[in-house]
């Protein structure tokens, strides 16, 4: 249970809010690289942390992320046209460069130098892996570029999708931290999803519905261990890393690619879920990539031409009562991703956490909220750089391991939870 003012603090990320300031310390996913595939690609509207922005790529191939609205009389630059080194407003032709600097005011004589005095808000936009990243905070505090493993392995080993999720970022993140729902909500998918099925570990998931949770501190956030019974004298541990503020990884299954998420606030009632799948040591097979494109695993199908899921709240996520009755799906909703976001959206745009009743399986969520609150306060009061900004904190992996009962999960698997280039993920 959270006091309403704490819920408010953790869920609001607009300019000037404590969590908004926290998010502005990090490089966060702004777009998929496929949205601006080539020099001169048409501009894309994007809202991040409650700020309305335009992303574009000039004819030289440079990326820009600037205020959506023209400094002249506030027209959306989405109607604008990429021209040479910048983006030209469709109303009276003012032109902006990739930093947001106005570079031409055609109606005014050049010698007045008006353009030089006008600058829109502009943020960096940098491609690392399949994602375009931005840092929306103080340029003087800009950290080194992100070094997440999924974004730095060779391109043939990784795949990223994104989807619009119609709820606050925190309840989406909390779904990524809480692995106790897997034995219930995703029980059907463990048996049938091509990116999940067939792993030995699934048997432990399906035969022990009462995981015990243990949480350990990490430099960048937490490692959340979920323990289930395995063979005599052993436990099956699924270990989820959470790196502040919005990165989680799902523990692997067999030799399937490993997946995870970023939950990026669009505004306080919507977020982008970036979902990635990668394999640390091998190329993804064409069957795997096809399954990802078809919406299996952590991915989903789309309303054509958009990043909105095909199953969405306007069509009740295509819920199928018959499939639920037959036990094919636990909630009647098809697909692991849609199972998650349908329930998270059903909580309302911002769930009222003063009414919840947390239990022992929510230990990871409780700790994560505590860490977020502490970091937001330390930043505000002492200017302290939060965990997860340092690229070293980003070099984590999830793991699924069987350990003797007397071994502490964190001691036994510390090395396995660290990125080791060229070494396979720890998985059963
Ligand atoms: S509103 Fe953009 S040029 Fe006039
Ligand atoms: Fe889930």
pLDDT value at 208 more than 90: no
Interval 333-337 mean pLDDT? 95
91 CB within 6 A, ligand 1: yes
Report residue 21: phi and psi, to 5°. -65, -40
Please check whether residue 363 is in contact with residue 215, taking contact to mean a CB–CB distance below 8 angstroms.
Answer: yes
Q: Is 155 exposed, middle or buried (0-12, 13-18, 19+ CB in 10 A)?
A: exposed
Q: 239 pairs with which residues across the strands?
A: 225, 399
Interval 193-198 mean pLDDT? 91
Ligand number, closest to the Cα atom of 108:
1
**What 3-state DSSP class applies to 87?**
strand
Q: Supply the pLDDT for residue 43.
A: 98
- Ligand 1: nearest atom to the Cα of 70: 2
Q: Give the lowest-confidence range in 73-77, 181-185, 272-276, 370-374.
A: 181-185
Rounded-to-integer distance, Cα 427 and Cα 323, Å: 31
Q: Supply the pLDDT for residue 207.
A: 86
396 CB within 6 A, ligand 1: no
Interval 145-160 mean pLDDT? 98
For residue range 345-355, list pLDDT tens digits in order. Answer: 999 999 999 99
107 CB within 6 A, ligand 1: no
CA of 336 to the centre of ligand 2 (A): 6
pLDDT value at 189 more than 90: no
Whose C-alpha lies nearest to ligand 1, atom 1?
73
Pocket test of ligand 1: the residue of 43, 91, 100, 106 to mutate, having most ligand atoms within 8 Å of its CB, is 91
Q: Supply the pLDDT for residue 240.
A: 96
CA of 343 to the centre of ligand 2 (A): 10
pLDDT value at 238 more than 90: yes
pLDDT value at 1 more than 90: no
Q: Supply the pLDDT for residue 335.
A: 95
Confidence (pTM): 0.97
Q: Give the lowest-confidence range in 55-59, 72-76, 196-200, 205-209.
A: 205-209
pLDDT value at 57 more than 90: yes
Q: Supply the pLDDT for residue 209.
A: 83
**What 3-state DSSP class applies to 219?**
coil
For residue range 300-332, list pLDDT tens digits in order. Answer: 999 999 999 999 999 999 999 999 999 999 999
Neighbours of 259 (CB within 10 A): 27
pLDDT value at 241 more than 90: yes
78 CB within 6 A, ligand 1: no
Q: Bigger pLDDT: 181 or 150?
A: 150
Interval 384-390 mean pLDDT? 98
CA distances from residue 87 to 158, 177, 251 in whole angstroms, order as listed: 32, 41, 43
Interacting residues of 268 by C-beta distance below 8 A, sequence separation 6+: 11, 12, 13, 14, 50, 168, 349, 350
User: Which band of pLDDT confidence, cut at 50, 70 and 90, is reported for residue 182?
Assistant: confident
Neighbours of 72 (CB within 10 A): 15
Q: Supply the pLDDT for residue 180.
A: 85
pLDDT value at 166 more than 90: yes
Q: 104-121 burial string, b = 16+ CB within 10 Å, else e?
A: bbeeeeeeeeebeebbbe
Ligand number, closest to the Cα atom of 172:
2
CA distances from residue 166 to 57, 105, 163, 270, 309 in whole angstroms, order as listed: 28, 39, 10, 5, 10
CA distances from residue 374 to 130, 176, 369 in whole angstroms, order as listed: 32, 20, 8
69 CB within 6 A, ligand 1: no
CA distances from residue 125 to 13, 135, 332, 373 in whole angstroms, order as listed: 20, 8, 40, 28
User: Which band of pLDDT confidence, cut at 50, 70 and 90, is reported for residue 23?
Assistant: very high
Question: Mean pLDDT for the chain?
Answer: 96
């Amino acid at each position: 249970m959270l006091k309403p003012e704490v819920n408010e603090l953790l869920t609001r990320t607009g300019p000037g809010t404590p969590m908004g300031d926290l998010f502005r310390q990090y490089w966060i996913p702004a777009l998929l690289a496929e949205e601006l595939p080539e020099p001169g690609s048409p501009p894309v509207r994007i809202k991040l942390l409650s700020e309305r922005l335009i992303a574009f790529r000039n004819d030289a191939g440079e990326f820009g992320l600037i205020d959506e609205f023209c400094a002249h009389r506030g027209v959306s630059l989405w109607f604008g046209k990429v021209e040479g080194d910048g983006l030209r407003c469709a109303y009276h032709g003012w032109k902006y460069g990739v930093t947001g600097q106005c570079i031409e005011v055609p109606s005014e004589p050049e010698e007045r130098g008006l353009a030089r005095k006008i600058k829109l808000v502009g943020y960096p936009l940098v491609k690392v892996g399949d994602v375009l990243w931005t840092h929306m905070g103080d340029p003087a505090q800009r950290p080194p570029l992100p070094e997440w493993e999924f974004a730095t392995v060779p391109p043939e080993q990784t795949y990223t999708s994104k989807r619009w999720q119609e709820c606050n970022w925190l309840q989406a993140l909390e779904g990524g931290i809480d692995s106790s729902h897997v034995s219930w909500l995703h029980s059907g998918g463990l048996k049938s999803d091509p990116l999940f099925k067939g792993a030995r570990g699934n048997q432990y998931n399906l035969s022990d519905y009462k995981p015990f949770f243990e949480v350990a501190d990490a430099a960048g956030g937490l490692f959340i261990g979920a323990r289930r019974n395995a063979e005599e004298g052993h436990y099956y541990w699924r270990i989820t890393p959470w790196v502040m503020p919005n990165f989680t990884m799902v523990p692997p299954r067999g030799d399937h690619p490993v997946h995870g998420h970023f939950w990026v606030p669009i505004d306080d009632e919507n977020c982008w879920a970036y979902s990635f799948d990668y394999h640390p040591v091998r190329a993804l097979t064409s069957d795997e990539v096809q399954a990802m494109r078809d919406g299996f695993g952590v991915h989903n199908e789309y309303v054509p031409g958009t990043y909105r899921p095909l199953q969405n709240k306007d069509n009740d996520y295509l819920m199928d009562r018959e499939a639920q009755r037959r036990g094919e799906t636990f909630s009647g909703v098809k697909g692991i991703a849609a199972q998650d976001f349908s329930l998270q959206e059903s909580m309302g745009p911002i769930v009222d956490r003063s009414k919840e009743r947390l239990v022992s399986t929510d230990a990871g969520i409780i700790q994560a909220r505590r860490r977020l609150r502490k970091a937001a306060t330390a930043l505000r009061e002492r200017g302290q750089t939060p965990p997860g900004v340092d690229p070293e904190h980003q070099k984590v992996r999830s793991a699924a391991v069987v350990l003797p009962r007397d071994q502490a999960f964190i001691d036994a698997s510390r090395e396995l939870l660290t990125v080791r280039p060229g070494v396979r993920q720890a998985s059963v």
